[in-house]
Structure 1
């Protein structure tokens, strides 16, 4: 086994930080870390480092903060002398100039089985489509969007209990192990990459607030998929008297409700009828309030039934 590859790591969010920590603990030689700049968070607008920056600092790794791999970042990376770069959700497109800095280029971890679902949100989109399985792809970056040659892939099942958060967690674990194995296998593993085959997948764009709105005039299973896909962000919601009500957890039910959009209590559950089936709103969160049981929210309204939109 060859553990000699010298790596520069680029990433930003929590799942990327988990992968960074895993690689470090498994003996991968990480020369330095590139992450996005600190951002203002909360009501007091406190400048907060990215999860990757926090982990890198704890591990004693050099950190460079930039919102793109610009000339200054390229100079910093070049001075490290890496054999290969690793990208996990860094958050910026790499130019040809940036791609050429590490001797073996850059490898990326993507949370779908490419060429299926390229783009920034494959986890949400596979749940929106109600799929039973997905996977992880480690591939060599090129100038396209998730179009580079594939080094290795691994399949991951999707459970009915999964939401985007739980599925991403398992995909991160699988991707970290796959990436670590590839880096330990050395240059031969990276250079064996083969071009992507098959029809290019539908682009998995980042979900918007309008995409996350529930529509009880549609099929109930589609709305359940939306609840799963949008948790933890941006979170599925419906409008009630001009105010958004978030839906954190929901499930299908065989209990019939006469008309789509009608909500009422059935056996202590809040049931909403759809145009195809019915759904139980288990956990909701009214604007400005803590999450609560859907049934408790409904009881507080002191009505027999509601028309939701």
Structure 2
């Protein structure tokens, strides 16, 4: 079966590899254009583009699927299109090109967490279980009927990045299985059932920790925004980046945002009990162990995260 694969970030690469290993003919890859990376803003191909180039697959670079891009997809004569985190909407004209439509691998248990950041929102909400589904892409936001589902537990220390990494590999297998079922004529998509929740793309503001919230909520938010856009707070008006915190239920006497060095542990007060900092990146410095940062401070008595 001839497949157009659409995807952009690292989490989409296992799906591309899985489809190739399963014997599908990838006739073209649709991915977003090269983007500036790093301090020097060097134009860099997307991870999917880089992998496609290694494999000698034709690449269609496009920030949006317009009439010209749709024509390129049609020229490839795909039987089906597979899409994993491409990062753009697929209009009706393009959806109609492959006879078997576009099959999307989405990292949530739809209809929960429809949108661009399903894993991040699941972690932030404290979900115990999430997963991935394959579904037939429609013009609506992740509304199409579902072909296949897998579940994945959310561990107490899982960051969004770690959870997404696991789902990218198990989901890649699910996507290949779904396309195989489509090719064999035995795929049966079922309408989505259940409560709908939305997972809009995260912004930098989503990473700001509110120390007046309970420790559990702060911990979930910090894990949910790791690695991107990252957790942060402010100190003396300067932004300070943080890696995920650990809960310390026995420590309750610190005011929200107050910082205290307890032996080798750096504690911060919250709306309930304290949390322990793991690593911190003060403004203009590199990420470092929280204890090393604390020992480098003249005093922590006046340090308050805002």
TM range (shorter): over 0.9
Residue of structure 2 equivalent to 1:86: 82
CA gap of 1:190–1:9, structure 2 versus 1, over 3 A, is farther
Residue of structure 1 equivalent to 2:51: 55
TM-score by length of 1: 0.94
Provide the rounded CA distance (Å) in 2 between the counterparts of 1:56 and 1:116.
Answer: 31
In the alignment, structure 1 residue 27 sits paired with structure 2 residue 23:
yes
Residue of structure 2 equivalent to 1:144: 140
- Aligned pairs for 1:100-111 within 5 A: 100-111=96-107
Alignment root-mean-square deviation, CA? 1.4
2:61 to 65, 78, 84: 65
Q: Which runs of 5+ in 2 are unaligned?
A: none
- Contact 1:135-1:156 within 8 A present in 2 as well: yes
Residue of structure 2 equivalent to 1:156: 152
Q: Which 4+ stretches in 1 moved above 4 angstroms?
A: 188-191
Provide the rounded CA distance (Å) in 1 between the counterparts of 2:199 and 2:184.
Answer: 31
CA gap of 1:189–1:154, structure 2 versus 1, over 3 A, is farther
Residue of structure 2 equivalent to 1:287: 283
Residue of structure 2 equivalent to 1:215: 210
Residue of structure 2 equivalent to 1:308: 305
In the alignment, structure 1 residue 171 sits paired with structure 2 residue 167:
yes
Provide the rounded CA distance (Å) in 2 between the counterparts of 1:7 and 1:285.
Answer: 44
State the shift of 1:304 in Å: 4.2
In the alignment, structure 1 residue 264 sits paired with structure 2 residue 260:
yes
State the shift of 1:287 in Å: 2.2
- Aligned pairs for 1:30-45 within 5 A: 30-45=26-41
TM-score by length of 2: 0.95
Q: Which runs of 5+ in 1 are unaligned?
A: none
Provide the rounded CA distance (Å) in 1 between the counterparts of 2:51 and 2:80.
Answer: 20
In the alignment, structure 1 residue 99 sits paired with structure 2 residue 95:
yes
- Contact 1:257-1:272 within 8 A present in 2 as well: no
